[in-house]
């Protein structure tokens, strides 16, 4: 079932529309990572988006798939949202971050879509009138370091098959995290933090956001419980 929604107000603190519009997120990233920061320029982001979705593309019924922070803090304006499943990818903490949820000295991990399996998340239908502008805003959020690979995918919803966009892991990028022991992931998520807050809060907010939508991810719930236990033991 889809439900009308007003996404102009984020559901939790963190990155905001204004921070993306005025490039504050990129500034914070550069401050955090210093001279080593590799932040995409506006021209690079625009070129990247146009390679996937042209300025004159048909966006009359276009959706964006959220599987992590987009679920609880979508930011992008949209007319409807729906529970959706995709196939060929699964949700995993497989991207290193030294900025938003980590630091150069203590990198964090964030979610992406890795190859294989399936994933249930939330799809957002963009308003055709401003879809391209919202996609450009989304590119500033997700493609700042070019760690993701934007992909057009099929979204399976209870109102039928929809065409949409998802940001999947790019194994060729240095930020890609190979599979690691569960306890190693627990340690990273428990202690890393960046300008956008602790890595563990990102995990907790994602789990709560999914549960609020009726989505259960037992691996993420197991990780959240292990992180809480790890912190309680110190």
pLDDT tens digits along 163-216:
999 999 999 999 999 999 999 999 999 999 988 899 999 999 999 999 999 999
Dihedral sign for Cα atoms in the order 85, 200, 227, 107 = positive
What pLDDT, on the 0 to 100 scale, is given for residue 31?
A: 67
What pLDDT, on the 0 to 100 scale, is given for residue 39?
A: 86
Angle CA 49–110–126, to nearest 5: 40
Query: Kind and range of the H or E element at 84?
Result: strand 78-97
Q: Please report which confidence band the pLDDT of residue 35 belongs to, taking 50, 70 and 90 as the band edges.
A: very low
What pLDDT, on the 0 to 100 scale, is given for residue 8?
A: 31
> In the chain, pLDDT over 70 holds for what percent of residues?
89
- Our answer to whether residue 142 is catalytic in this structure is yes
What pLDDT, on the 0 to 100 scale, is given for residue 14?
A: 73
What pLDDT, on the 0 to 100 scale, is given for residue 101?
A: 92
- Statement: residue 16 has pLDDT above 90: no
What pLDDT, on the 0 to 100 scale, is given for residue 3?
A: 38
Residues 6+ apart with CB under 8 A from 185: 93, 109, 223
Q: Please report which confidence band the pLDDT of residue 113 belongs to, taking 50, 70 and 90 as the band edges.
A: very high
Mean pLDDT rounded to a whole number for the chain = 90
91 Rama sector, left if φ>0, alpha if ψ -120 to 50, beta otherwise: beta
What pLDDT, on the 0 to 100 scale, is given for residue 213?
A: 95
What pLDDT, on the 0 to 100 scale, is given for residue 165?
A: 98
Domains of the chain: 2-232 (3.10.490.10)
- Statement: residue 9 has pLDDT above 60: no
pLDDT digits (tens, 9 = 90+) for 67-93: 999 999 999 999 999 999 999 999 999
Average pLDDT over residues 29-46: 73
Average pLDDT over residues 32-49: 78
Active-site pick, 142, 187, 201, 221: 142
Angle CA 69–102–52, to nearest 5: 50
What pLDDT, on the 0 to 100 scale, is given for residue 30?
A: 65
Residues 232, 234: Cα–Cα separation, whole Å = 5
Q: Please report which confidence band the pLDDT of residue 234 belongs to, taking 50, 70 and 90 as the band edges.
A: confident
What are 29's two structure tokens?
């990233």
- Statement: residue 102 has pLDDT above 50: yes
Between the alpha carbon of residue 150 and those of residues 49, 69, 142, 186, the distances in Å are 8, 16, 9, 27
């Amino acid at each position: 079932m889809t439900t009308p929604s007003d996404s102009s107000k984020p559901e939790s603190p963190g990155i905001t529309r204004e921070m993306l519009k005025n490039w504050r997120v990129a500034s914070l990233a550069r401050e955090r990572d210093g001279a080593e920061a590799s932040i995409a320029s506006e021209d690079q982001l625009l070129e990247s988006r146009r390679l996937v979705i042209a300025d004159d593309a048909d966006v009359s019924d276009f959706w964006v798939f959220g599987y992590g922070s987009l679920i609880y803090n979508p930011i992008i304006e949209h007319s409807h949202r729906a529970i959706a499943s995709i196939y060929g990818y699964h949700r995993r903490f497989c991207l290193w971050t030294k900025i938003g949820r980590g630091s150069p000295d203590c990198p964090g991990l964030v979610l992406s879509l890795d190859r294989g399996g399936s994933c249930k998340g939330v799809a957002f239908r963009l308003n055709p009138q401003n879809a391209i502008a919202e996609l450009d805003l989304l590119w500033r959020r997700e493609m700042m370091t070019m760690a993701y690979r934007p992909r057009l995918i099929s979204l399976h919803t209870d109102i039928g098959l929809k065409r949409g966009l998802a940001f999947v892991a790019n194994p060729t990028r240095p930020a890609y995290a190979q599979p690691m022991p569960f306890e190693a992931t627990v340690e990273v998520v428990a202690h890393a933090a960046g300008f956008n807050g602790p890595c563990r809060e990102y995990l907790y907010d994602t789990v709560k956001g999914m549960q609020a939508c009726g989505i259960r991810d037992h691996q993420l719930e197991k990780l959240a419980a292990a992180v809480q236990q790890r912190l309680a033991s110190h």
